[in-house]
Amino acid sequence: MKNSFPKLQSSILDTIGNTPIVRLQKVVPPGSADVFVKLEYFSPTGSYKDRMALAMIEEAEKRGDLRSGMTVVEYTGGSTGSSLALVCAVKGYKFKVVSSDAFSQEKLKTMRALGAELFIVPSEGGKITPDLVPRMIEQAKKFAESQETYFTYQHRNKDMVKGYEKMGLELLKQVEGPIHAFCGGVGTAGMLMGVGKALKEAKSPARIVALEPATSAVISTGVAGSHRIEGIGSGFIPPILDKNYYDEARAIDETEARQMARRLAKEEGIFVGTSSGLNVVGALQLAREFGPGHTVVTVAVDTGLKYLASDLYEL
Ligand SMILES: Cc1ncc(COP(=O)(O)O)c(C=O)c1O
């Protein structure tokens, strides 16, 4: 990456990916492995979801499932929706999106700003309860019944894994020496599966660790519950999660995740959302277990700017 200026690109879509990676300086306790964080908030909508939105649309175009004049339909907490709205805006597709008031106002407004037509499913007091995502899915399915629609259906869409495999390949180039562990929170599991697949296929020794909210640890305990970490812990095991591409699942405490997001901003200048705080809590656990001389990698999923209207940064 030395002396490399970003080249002139023909559209914003060409700027997706190739994000920077940094070493955490202050939040890593002594006696731990090095912890590196890939800063996905450098992507156009400020989230790694740009990678999957582009892959889902372009793979559907290649198969002929999505054609000019069609409307794309999706349900989303708002990150996937913002990324899909951006890709649809550039490519000229209409985008109809189902979301909820459980998700941040910034994300809902971003989708509208990028031209999406929004339908809101009411939540129980702003909480992500186990029934919320299934209710959003049912509504999206109804919209997708009309002719000339293409439902990207994120929890069942394997195209996204392709988009995230590139993230794994970038990590292999960016990290000098072996990656001993990689962890990340699971929503659709697209990111973890893409990176896990790329690392395992490259014969990396990395232990791939799925993270989830402790109060809705469906993968590790089978018990669903409510929480307020947007994007992960959907209340069911995502169909894309494949045992071949991860080694272990861990439950992480939400309060610790929130505190870590605030510490990352104040101590490291890394300004992110709640799920990124959770990723770093998981990475620090692994770093303590692996110890000095090892490398643990995780991801800053999105920017803290998406959470300013929530209480994450209300101190
Ligand atoms: C903020 C945030 N963090 C983490 C995730 C989880 O990513 P994935 O769906 O690839 O498992 C999502 C997905 O929606 C998200 O929006």
CB of 188 within 6 A of ligand 1: the answer is yes
Mean pLDDT within 58-68: 98
Task: Tell which atom from ligand 1 comes closest to the C-alpha of 190.
Answer: 10
pLDDT at position 2, please?
55
Residues 261/312, Cβ–Cβ less than 8 Å: yes
The predicted-structure confidence for 274-313, as pLDDT tens digits, reads as follows: 999 999 999 999 999 999 999 999 999 999 999 998 899 9
Crossing angle between the packed helical segments 49-63 and 159-174, to the nearest 10 degrees? 130
Query: What's domain 12-47+158-307's architecture?
Result: 3-Layer(aba) Sandwich (3.40)
* Cα atoms found within 13 Å of the Cα of residue 207, Cβ hemisphere only: 17
pLDDT in tens, 142-178: 999 998 999 999 999 999 999 999 999 999 999 999 9
Atom of ligand 1 nearest to the CA of 52: 10
Q: What pLDDT is recorded for position 65?
A: 97
Residue range 9-34: mean pLDDT, rounded: 97
Q: Give the Cα-Cα-Cα angle 38, 237, 222 (nearest 5 degrees).
A: 115
Domain ranges of the chain: 12-47+158-307, 49-156
User: What's the pTM value of the predicted model, to 2 decimals?
Assistant: 0.95
- 32, 47, 123, 275: the active-site residue: 275
Locus of tokens 């031209």: 115
Say yes or no: do domains 12-47+158-307 and 49-156 share a fold.
yes
- Could you tell me the distance, in angstroms and rounded to a whole number, from the CA of residue 2 to the centre of ligand 1? 31
CATH of 49-156 among 3.40.190.10, 3.10.150.10, 3.40.50.1100, 1.10.540.10: 3.40.50.1100
The predicted-structure confidence for 178-218, as pLDDT tens digits, reads as follows 999 999 999 999 999 999 999 999 999 999 999 999 999 99
Q: Is 49 a catalytic residue?
A: yes
Asked if residue 249 has pLDDT above 60, the reply is yes
Q: Quick one: angle between helices 254-263 and 274-290, nearest 10?
A: 90
Sign of CA dihedral 160, 65, 121, 311: positive
Q: Is the CB of 39 under 6 A from ligand 1?
A: no
Per-residue pLDDT at 30 exceeds 70: yes
First to last CA, the chain: 37
Reported as a single tens digit per residue, the pLDDT across 80-122 is 999 999 999 999 999 999 999 999 888 899 999 999 999 999 9
